[in-house]
Amino acid sequence: MEIFTIDTSCVLNLLNTHESVDQELVVLLKFGFMDAVKLVVTEQLSAEVIGNAGNQRPEIAQRIGILPVHSVSPQRCAERDSLAQNLFQKFWSNAVPGSGNAEHGYRDCLHLASHKLCGGNVFVTRDETLRKKVRTHGGSFGIITLSPTEAVARIQHELLPLAQTEVSSPVIRLSQADDKDALKNLLEPLKNFYLDFDNWLSKTLNDQNARINIASIENNPISAIAIWKKKDQLTAKLSLFYITPESRKTGLGQHLLFYCIREWIENRFEKVIVTTSQENAELLTFFTRYGFRIEGISQRRYQRINGKSSAELVLAKHFFYQRITEADINIFINNLVSTIFSVPNNENIIANSNWFVPPLNINIQAKLHETNSSKRLILYTNNDQEINNFAISDLEKLFYPVRFAFNNRLAYLVPIQPRWANKMIQINNTQTQLNSYAYDRLFLRTDNVYYCYPWYADKDVVGAPILFYISSPESIIGGIGYILERHIALPEDLFLKFGGIGVYQIHNIQNHIKQKGSSIGCAMALRFGWWVPFTNPISRSRLNKFGIKGVPQHMQSISYQQYEDILKEGGLEW
């Protein structure tokens, strides 16, 4: 979601009853209330408004409190002032020092500097002189200014494909008989890339053994489809996975794929295969995020209508339904090396004469390397040349739902208020709903960001399980996920890095900063994913059963055994 900073000229127009209101500003404000865009002001606003509001100063000074303020941390004030000075020298190089024009110009530059450092996307002003200066010289500073009319046009363009309906989450369901025509229209763009695509699709849609999952955003038209089919008791193939262009980068594809992964786990499949053309190699990033890896390449596999051909990439995801401890880690590694990472050691298979390009490594060795209390699996050749390496968290992603129950592993329990949880995670057996418009895409992701005080700064928490305790009135542990990334930094820097996800704004993050010692002024961001809600959420009354005393007040660690006990009680043991 883009951040629009509105300047003093806009605020005065909205709140000063002696001035004709700019109707485009009213529309812009409405978009802000509907969460189509984040409207903010800078910390310079109050003093400037009071100096320009005439006899309405007290009333206007009170009313601007409705607007969220993007303020720069004390640690970065010098950086803001330096940037403002550079802007002033560029924009008002001919201003007479001490003149009213110079003072007004420098205040504008302070606004722009705060806007820039706090991660604003667009600076909205009714001051045509300022807009001209920024358009002429602001490109080198990465600053964009728009009039209210231009800002409204920009937002409307971005929202054009989205329906203004309230949603709580994506809807994923099985295809019904009356969906066939809609699905054929949905997949029309694919027919020119594959020979005989229409016949394949008709056959597949009528195949009783094909699992056809379709996805949409609440009441919107079908926007995504996944078709998979059981090949045998242990294997399935994902035959088709398609997201409409307008629904990409919304998180809908992530939800659909993770939904399929949960289905494959319920069926106890040990391997799922998906193939894609080399022309769609950009999909590799999407699939590898969920543990798929390339197992083979078949040249000239896809024959196009235009007579050209392209290679087929064969990806696979392997599932292990095991709990691995220190006692059996070596057995598990040997199993991986012999079944996943190696070419079968058969003389006919490894003979160079049978390959176009023989594999570089036939005999792969493996060892578990431990540094700073973390373990990594190293793959290497007979000559001690490293081939690849994986952290334990990588292995849990690759072979999900495998669990590495090592003695020194920790899980983390964090408290979250319902108003934030309802926008970030799905919880079973609750009546809460996300009251938001479709343009609020935060809930449409399978990963999200949780902000808090920098707890456990000296621990490597990445890869650890994370459980959320949703406070009163829910008072439950709602499910589990994994910590994918952790950053401790100033609030502005965290917001710049994760501004597109999470439900906090800078002023919210600033409530969690460290007040003294190392990392003073910093907060912590935890990006988490692979969220699965508990079938049976754990109520507050049962926490003592797992050795959790009282109600969690902040992020706290629990042993891996406690985590597994909670996992089983919540209904996610497999």
Establish if 496 belongs to a structural domain. Answer: yes
32-36, 57-61, 178-182, 216-220 — most confident range: 178-182
Task: Determine, yes or no, domain membership for 113.
Answer: yes
DSSP 170-197: -EEEE--GGGHHHHHHHTGGGGGGSTTH
Q: How would residue 295 be classed by pLDDT, with cut points 50, 70 and 90?
A: very high
Q: What are phi and psi of 274, to 5 degrees?
A: -140, 140
Three-state secondary structure along 68-122? CEECCCHHHHHHHHHHHHHHHHHHCCCCCCCCHHHHHHHHHHHHHHHHHHCCCCE
Those residues with Cβ within 8 angstroms of residue 109's Cβ, 6 or more apart along the chain or in another chain:
84, 85, 87, 88, 91, 92
Helix (H, G, I), strand (E, B) or coil at 47: helix
- Read off the pLDDT of residues 390-407 as tens digits, 9 standing for 90 and up: 999 999 999 999 999 998
396 with 499, same domain: the answer is no
Stated pTM of the model: 0.71
Return the sign of the alpha-carbon dihedral for residues 235, 240, 246, 248: positive
The domain containing residue 372 runs over which residues?
Answer: 323-403
Residue 164 lies in a domain: no
Domain boundary among 261, 294, 318: 318
Output the pLDDT for position 359.
Answer: 82
Residue 61: what pLDDT? Answer: 67
Which region among 120-134, 174-188, 368-382 has the lowest average model confidence (pLDDT)? Answer: 368-382
Banded model confidence at residue 78, pLDDT cuts 50, 70, 90: very high
Once rounded to an integer, what is the mean pLDDT over residues 222-228?
95
Q: Is residue 291 part of a domain?
A: yes
Instruction: Please tell me whether residue 228 adopts helix, strand or coil conformation.
Output: strand
The per-residue pLDDT for 57 is 59
**Residue 287 sits in the same domain as residue 362:** no
* Shared domain check, 205 and 257: yes
Based on the fold, state whether residues 114 and 228 are members of the same structural domain: no
Report pLDDT for 70. Answer: 82
Confidence grade of residue 148 (pLDDT, cut at 50, 70, 90): very high
Mean pLDDT over 9-28 rounds to: 84
Give mean pLDDT, residues 345-368: 86
Helix (H, G, I), strand (E, B) or coil at 241: strand
In-domain check, residue 141: yes
With respect to residue 179, please indicate whether it lies within any of the assigned structural domains.
Answer: yes
Structure tokens at 25: 């500003």
State whether 63 and 191 are in the same domain.
Answer: no
In a domain, 165, yes or no: no
Question: Residue 20: which residues within 8 A CB-CB, separation 6 or more?
Answer: none
DSSP-assigned states of every residue in 427-451: -TT-------BTT--GGG-S-EEEE
3-class DSSP state for residue 237? strand
Average pLDDT over the chain, rounded to an integer: 86
Domain boundary among 271, 286, 318: 318
Report CA dihedral (494, 510, 450, 418) to the nearest 10 degrees: -150
Q: How confident is the model at residue 315 (pLDDT cuts 50, 70, 90)?
A: very high
Pairing between β-strand 122-124 and β-strand 69-70 as defined by DSSP bridges: unpaired
Residue labelled with tokens 């002032």:
81
Q: Give the Cα separation of 294 and 138 in Å (integer).
A: 45
Last residue of a domain, one of 159, 180, 202: 159
**Do residues 508 and 492 both lie within one domain?**
yes
- Look up the CATH number of the domain holding residue 289: 3.40.630.30
Q: Output the domain CATH number for residue 60.
A: 3.40.50.1010
Other beta carbons within 10 angstroms of residue 40's beta carbon come to 24
Is the pLDDT at 423 greater than 60? The verdict is: yes
| The pLDDT value given to residue 161 | 39
**Cα distance between residue 370 and residue 404, in whole Å:** 15
**Same-domain check for residues 270 and 180:** yes
The single-letter DSSP state of residue 152 is: H
The better pLDDT of the pair 363, 548 is held by 548
Q: What is the pLDDT of residues 155-200, one digit of tens each?
A: 777 654 333 333 345 788 999 989 989 999 999 888 877 778 889 8
501 and 415 share one domain: yes
Question: How many folded domains does the chain comprise?
Answer: 4
Residues comprising the chain, all counted: 574
Is the domain of 495 the same as that of 564? yes
Residue 221 CB coordination number (10 Å): 12
Q: What is the pLDDT of residue 437?
A: 33
- What average pLDDT does the segment 349-362 reach? 85
Residue 222 lies in a domain: yes
d(CA 207, CA 198): 14
Q: Which helix or strand (DSSP H or E) is residue 229 part of?
A: strand 224-230
Asked if residue 275 lies in contact with residue 314, where contact means CB atoms within 8 angstroms, the answer is yes
Q: Is 260 left (phi over 0), alpha (psi -120 to 50) or beta?
A: alpha
- The amino acid at residue 303 is Q
The pLDDT tens digits for 473-520 are 889 999 999 999 999 998 878 876 886 577 887 778 889 999 999 899
Residues 394 and 423 in one domain: no
CATH of the domain at 554: 2.30.130.30
126 three-class SS: coil
Same domain (yes/no): 112, 7: yes
Q: Do 44 and 115 share a domain, yes or no?
A: yes
Residue 162: what pLDDT?
33
Q: What is the pLDDT of residue 433?
A: 35
Q: Please count the helices (runs of H) and the strands (runs of E) in the chain.
A: 19, 23
| Residue 362 banded pLDDT, cuts 50, 70, 90 | confident
